Amino acid sequence: MKFKSLKQQIIVIFLTLVLGIQLVGLIPIQRAIDKNVRSLVTKELEVGEKVVLNLLGSNNQNIINGAKILAADYGFREAISSHDQETILSALNNFQSRIRADIAIFQGVDNDTIAVSGDLTEQEAMPVVQHLISQYSASSQTLQFEILNDIPYQLVAVPIKAPIVIGWMVIGFEIDDALAQKINELSGLQVTFIQHVQNKPWNTKVSTLGTDDQRVIQNYFAQASKEVAINREMDVQGELYETKFLVLHDDAENKLIALLQRSITAEISQYQELKFSLLILTILGLGIFSVAIIYVSNYIAKPIARLSENAKQLEFGNYEAAITSDRKDEIGELSKSFNAMREAVATREEKVKRLAFWDEVTGLPNRAAFIQQLEATITSHRNRKLSLTVLVLNLDRFKEVNKILGRDMGDELLSQVAKKIKAEMRADDVVARLGADEYGILLSTLSEDLALLVADKLKKAFELPFDVNEQKIDVSAGFGIAVFPQHGETDEALLHNAETALNVSKQRNSGVVVYHPQFDVGTQENLTMATDLKSAIQAHQLVLYLQPKINMQTKQGYAAEALVRWMHPEKGFIFPDQFIPFAEQTGLIQGITLWMLEEACRVHMALKQEGIPLTIAVNISTRDLIGSDFPEKIEHIFRRHHVTFDAISLEITESSIMDDPVRAEATLQRLSQMGLKIAIDDFGTGYSSLGYLKRLPVQELKIDKSFVMNMASNENDAVIVRSTVDLAHNLNLKVVAEGIENVEAWDLLAKMGCDYGQGYFMGKPMPEKEFQAWLVRWESQSQQMAAETTSSAKKATVHKIK
Amino acid sequence: MITKLIKFPTLQSLGLVALTVSQLSLAADVTVEVRDSKGKLLSDAVVYVEGNKTANLAANKAFEIEQKGRQFNPQVSVVQAGTHITFPNKDKVRHHVYSFSPAKKFELKLYSGVPANPVLFDKAGTVVLGCNIHDTMLAYIHIVDTPFFAKTSASGVAAITDLPEGSYELKVWHYALQTDNKPAQQAITIKSTNQPVVIQLDINDMKLM
């Protein structure tokens, strides 16, 4: 059953319960009454039977006593002895009328004399008397009944002694209504004498019941078999009688039965009043209980309903209405808790609202607020056909600033940047912090051209260093612009496209970039590339290239850097800068690194067999360094290829170490302990301090090619290279110069004491097969170099690709 | 049933009956042992013989049945017809002795001490005596037409003495006989010496006093 309310539930459950209990209670009462009545009736019947037997017995005794008087009469006995029939008969008559008997019979002991007084012939009397005499016992008087001429009699036989038995006297009383009435009066039972004479039907001669009832009983006996003498309940015209059968006489021909009956129905009806009272009490109790339950359920359910109403208000955001209750019980407590909850929720919502739309570091609106504002502006501008511009900017290398200078400084920088942007903008332009180091500016009603101007102005502003806690920090930024409506109709699209433009700017390092639909295609390509790259390793689409590394002092080339090329089945040759950054982002780089290690080992062994002992350097990424099982993997690969640890060296960029310096250091320590040589790649582009590098188990520094390539033209770069070489040597590190493209650079570096060199001047990256041929060429070249200290260098205009 | 139990010829042929007769005096004694059908010895059985020689013998003996302790004493008597019997009352209470028996009907209305006249019993038969005041008082008088009679003692034996030799009818009566007061009888021959006679009677135990 489903209830609509708690009140209903309480009322229905409790009323059902009470009603159930009452009903269940009535059943045993009904049963007890029934049982009680039956046992009472049975008991009454037993008592009644005794009363009846007693009455008949005392009747018997009275007759006997009367008969004895006559039997002892001298004159009567004299008359008997003298066979004086007349006198005998008159004495009998006299006696019969005196004791109001219906029958008086005398029979002499020799069967010679018989005298009958009453409505009976001698022939009829004889057998009865004979029977009674044979049944006679002086010590115990059994009740004797006979049916004579269809009339039932109670009979008594008394011997006449003089002083031996000289004859018998038999006295009979008709069983009549008077007897039945007397029995009824004394015992309270209904009595019916029913008889069956020879083949005549059962007949009720005497009964306290009505004639209709008697007929029912007669029918009952008529239908029943001979086995009627059992106590049972008898239904007489709807009235149920507990019935006792008293067989008074039973011989072959005649039967006389007394039915003693007590009405169960009448007895039960006496309890009707009790039952009625109980019913009244039940109804009354139920009524009182109903009132009480309704009151209680109201008392409980109403405040709950009110609380529910209050809660609904809270659901709709209405926290104003206070919830009060003057009750002291649980419901009062609940109300108080509700109220406290309402206040707490209101306070928290306030805070959440603030947090949701406000950035605490910079005091600017956050991304959510920015989007909300953008949405609102777009809606209003769309109708008015106005344009607007979203400008997003992202600080370069903010991560490093945070790591090196600490988070507080980072936050301060972010705050300074915010201030600077705000200062450059108009008052009604919305400036927000979109992410960690990303800012968004909503330039309302500005066209693309004007927006570009604003961006340029901002870019210029960034050229001045920021003053953070009395430290000057140079920060550059990338800028992305998307204009409504041409670059996006919705806030989402607009912001997304501005950020795409920003990404492009960051990739190209090209300052301000305006969104162009082409940018998105690249992104799509990236997705396909991810799938392709996954299968590239298994499909043997990756190829290992070697770029020789030359000892600048001995001019010998027995080291090389391993570089990867991708032979895409459809797109053809793909350079690493098109997929390596992507692989690093997606984690595919780990598979590539392992493949590289495998391949490097294989190539090493192959060349070793050719008699070329080549140490191959393999680049590893941040993700490799973070993976704790990386050293085990390397060891496994080496063992499989039977390669010694000095055959392969590792190169790692400065910035990838800085991503997670602690773990990177731990991994590097383990790799170094295994005997692997480790080089820092692209040295000079990151923020790593030499002090930190000193702690690392590093043997080589590779100076970034940007310094080497500009060395000839830029005096600063030359100074950087020179001091780096010196510093490295002071720290016992070998120095490798990348990007040597001409003999001048070679010479200069050699003079500076640089240990190794790498670049197009000596050799481009090449497949393994070409390496031997190159080696031969190089040896002749190097001899030639030795011959002419200055040489006309080859022009290497090809962009070096790694 | 009763007649079947008393099979006198059979008893005789089996030699169960013996008479003892005195040859010297021409008179003999005969002993009769009376038992019931179960073989139990019966007391108070009346034994007598009748024959041609006994018919006209006069009886002049007096007899007495006293009432003492509200009982007749003796309770069973045998007398020859013609005997006068007195009924002395030895109790303090008075008695009313009567008989409705056909052999002798009489009544001695309430009296104490010895009644003035004895009662003459002149007819053979059985007389049942009662007291009209005390219902429990009961006595039997068996009156026979012969002087040769006796009553069995407590040991169930009776002896008839001085009986002339000759043939007789031996009759045995007991008040508790099943048959309606009819004595059992059998023919006997009295010699000088006689074997004891054993008589079995069919007794109604209910009637025993």
Q: How far apart are CA A26 and CA A279, in angstroms?
A: 9
Interface contact flag, B128 A163, Cβ < 8 Å: yes
Reply yes or no on whether the pLDDT at A545 is more than 80: yes
Instruction: With respect to residue A239, please indicate whether it lies within any of the assigned structural domains.
Output: yes
CB < 8 Å & 24+ apart, contacts of B56-60: B57/B146, B57/B147, B58/B82, B59/B83, B59/B147
Position A690 scores a pLDDT of 67
- From A516, A550, A581, the end of a domain falls on A516
Does pLDDT of A514 surpass 90?
Answer: no
Percent of the residues in chain A that have a pLDDT greater than 90, as a whole number? 12
Instruction: Compute the distance between CA of residue A761 and CA of residue A764 in angstroms, rounded to an integer.
Output: 8
How many CA atoms lie less than 13 Å away from A16 in the CB half-sphere? 7
Task: Tell me the nearest-neighbour CA distance from A74 into chain B, angstroms.
Answer: 7
The reply to whether A80 touches chain B by the CB within 8 Å rule is: yes
* Average pLDDT of the segment spanning A362-373: 87
Could you give the CA distance from residue A107 to residue A158 in angstroms, rounded to a whole number?
A: 10
Instruction: Give the up-direction half-sphere exposure of residue A120: CA atoms within 13 A in the CB hemisphere.
Output: 32
Assign residue A366 the CATH number of its domain: 3.30.70.270
* Chain B residues closer than 8 Å to A137 by CB: none
SS3 of B84, please?
strand
Residue A21 lies in a domain: no
**Among residues A452, A481, A516, which one ends one of the domains?**
A516
- Burial-class residue A16 by CB neighbours within 10 Å (0-12, 13-18, 19+): exposed
Residue A201 lies in a domain: yes
Q: What integer pLDDT is reported at residue A435 of this predicted model?
A: 84
Integer Cα distance of A698 and A192 in angstroms: 132
Are A133 and A248 contained in the same domain?
Answer: yes
Q: What is the CATH number of the domain that holds A122?
A: 3.30.450.220
Which residues in chain A have Cβ-Cβ distances shorter than 8 Å to B180?
Answer: 110
Q: Does A162 touch chain B (CB under 8 A)?
A: yes
pLDDT for the residue numbered A348: 85
Residues A568 and A464 in one domain: no
Same domain? A508 vs A578: no
Which residues in chain B have Cβ-Cβ distances shorter than 8 Å to A79?
none
- Number of inter-chain CB pairs under 8 A, A vs B: 30
Check: pTM over 0.80? Answer yes or no.
Answer: no
On whether both A369 and A406 belong to a single domain, the answer is: yes
Mean residue pLDDT of chain A comes to: 84
Of A81, A110, A164, the CB nearest to B105: A81
**SS3 call for B86:** strand
Position B191 scores a pLDDT of 82
Strands (E), B37-134: 46-50, 62-64, 66-67, 72-73, 76-80, 83-86, 95-99, 106-111, 119-121, 125-131
Looking at chain B, which residue has its C-alpha nearest residue A77? B100
- Please check whether residues A648 and A506 belong to one and the same domain: no
DSSP 8-state class, residue A799: P
pLDDT, residue A800, reads 36
Pairwise CB contact (< 8 Å): A162 & B130: yes
By the CB < 8 Å criterion, does A72 face chain B?
yes
- The beta strands (E) that lie in A165-238 are given as 165-174, 190-197, 203-207, 232-236
Which residue carries 């003089």 as its tokens? Answer: A162
Q: Are residues A624 and A641 in the same domain?
A: yes
So what's the pLDDT on residue A686?
65
- Does some domain include residue A485? yes
Q: What average pLDDT does this structure show over A664-686? A: 86
Q: Which of A424, A473, A440 lies closest to A362 in space, CA to CA?
A: A440
Q: Is A733 helix (H, G, I), strand (E, B) or coil?
A: coil
Asked if A164 lies within 8 A of B105 by C-beta distance, the reply is: no
Report the pLDDT averaged over residues B164-190.
86
Q: With contacts defined as CB-CB under 8 Å, which chain A residues touch B137?
A: 163
Select from A72, A78, A110 the Cβ nearest to the Cβ of B100. A78
Q: Do B100 and A161 touch (CB under 8 A)?
A: no
Q: Which helix (H) or strand (E) holds A244?
A: strand A239-250
- The mean pLDDT of A310-333, rounded to a whole number, is 81
Tell me which of B71, B99, B100 to substitute to probe the interface with A (most A C-beta atoms closer than 10 Å).
Answer: B100
Asked if A81 and B135 come within 8 Å (Cβ–Cβ), the reply is no
Q: pLDDT band for position B26 (50/70/90)? A: low
Predicted pLDDT of residue A335 = 86
Residue A207 has pLDDT above 80, yes or no: yes
Select, from the ranges A262-271, A485-494, A612-621, B181-190, the one with the highest average predicted confidence (pLDDT). Answer: A612-621
Report the residue of chain B nearest A109, measured CA to CA: B180
Q: What is the distance in angstroms between the Cα of B51 and the nearest Cα belonging to chain A?
A: 30
- Within-domain flag for A470: yes
Q: Establish if B70 touches chain A: CB-CB under 8 angstroms.
A: no
- % chain A with pLDDT above 70: 95
In this prediction, residue A5 has a pLDDT band, given cuts at 50, 70 and 90, of confident
Predicted confidence (pLDDT) at residue B56 exceeds the cutoff of 70: no
* Residue B44, CA distances (Å) to A358, A395, B140, B154, B181 in order: 150, 162, 10, 7, 14
Q: Do residue B138 and residue A162 have CB atoms under 8 angstroms apart?
A: no
For A580-592, write each residue's pLDDT tens digit.
877 876 778 888 9
* pLDDT tens for each residue of A45-68: 888 888 888 888 888 888 888 888
Domain that holds residue A451: 358-516
- Whether A112 and chain B come into contact, CB under 8 Å, resolves to no
Average pLDDT along chain B: 82
Domains detected in chain B = 2-56+150-202 (2.60.40.1120), 62-144 (2.60.40.420)
Confidence bin at B25 (pLDDT 50/70/90) = very low
Residue A597: its pLDDT value, please?
Answer: 92
Query: Can you tell me the ipTM of this complex?
Result: 0.73
Task: Clarify whether residues A582 and A726 are in a common domain.
Answer: yes
With b for 16 or more beta-carbon neighbours within 10 A and e for fewer, the A227-261 pattern comes to ebeeeeebebeebbbbbbbbebbeeeebbbbbbbb
pLDDT at B166: 86
C-beta separation of B131 from B137 below 8 A: yes
Instruction: Say whether both A568 and A688 belong to one domain.
Output: yes
Cβ B128–A110 below 8 Å, yes or no? Answer: no
For residue B78, the model assigns a pLDDT of: 93
Identity of the residue numbered A166: I
A247 and A331 assigned to the same domain: no
User: Are A440 and A547 found together in one domain?
Assistant: no
Asked whether residue A332 carries a pLDDT value surpassing 80, the answer given is: yes
In a shared domain, residues A720 and A742: yes
Q: Is the pLDDT of residue B142 over 90?
A: yes
Does residue A176 belong to any structural domain of this protein?
A: yes
On whether residue A779 sits in a domain, the answer given is: yes
Q: Do A365 and A473 meet the contact criterion of CB atoms below 8 Å apart?
A: no
Average pLDDT over residues A451-472: 85
CB-nearest to A74 from B132, B137, B138 is: B132
Residue B3, pLDDT > 50, answer no
pLDDT category of residue B18 using cuts at 50, 70 and 90:
very low
CA-to-CA dists, residue A467 to A406, A412, A458, angstroms: 15, 9, 17
Report the domain count for chain A: 4
pLDDT digits (tens, 9 = 90+) for A148-194: 888 899 988 888 888 888 888 888 889 989 889 998 998 888 999 98
Helix (H, G, I), strand (E, B) or coil at A174: strand
pLDDT of residue B33: 92
Chain B residues whose beta carbon lies within 8 Å of the beta carbon of residue A74: 98, 132
Structure confidence at residue A227 as a pLDDT band (50, 70, 90)? low
Query: What digits encode the pLDDT tens for the residues B58-97?
Result: 666 789 999 999 999 999 999 998 899 999 999 999 999 9
Are residues A375 and A512 located together in one domain of the fold? yes
Q: How far is B70 from chain A (nearest CA, A)?
A: 13
Q: Is residue A202 part of a domain?
A: yes
Q: Which residues contact A120 (CB under 8 A, 6 or more apart)?
A: A103, A105, A148, A149
CATH number at residue A557: 3.20.20.450
What's the CA gap between A375 and A501, in Å, rounded? 20
pLDDT score recorded for residue A791: 42
Residues sharing a CB contact under 8 Å with residue A208, sequence separation 6 or more, in sequence order: A180, A181, A183, A184, A190, A191, A192
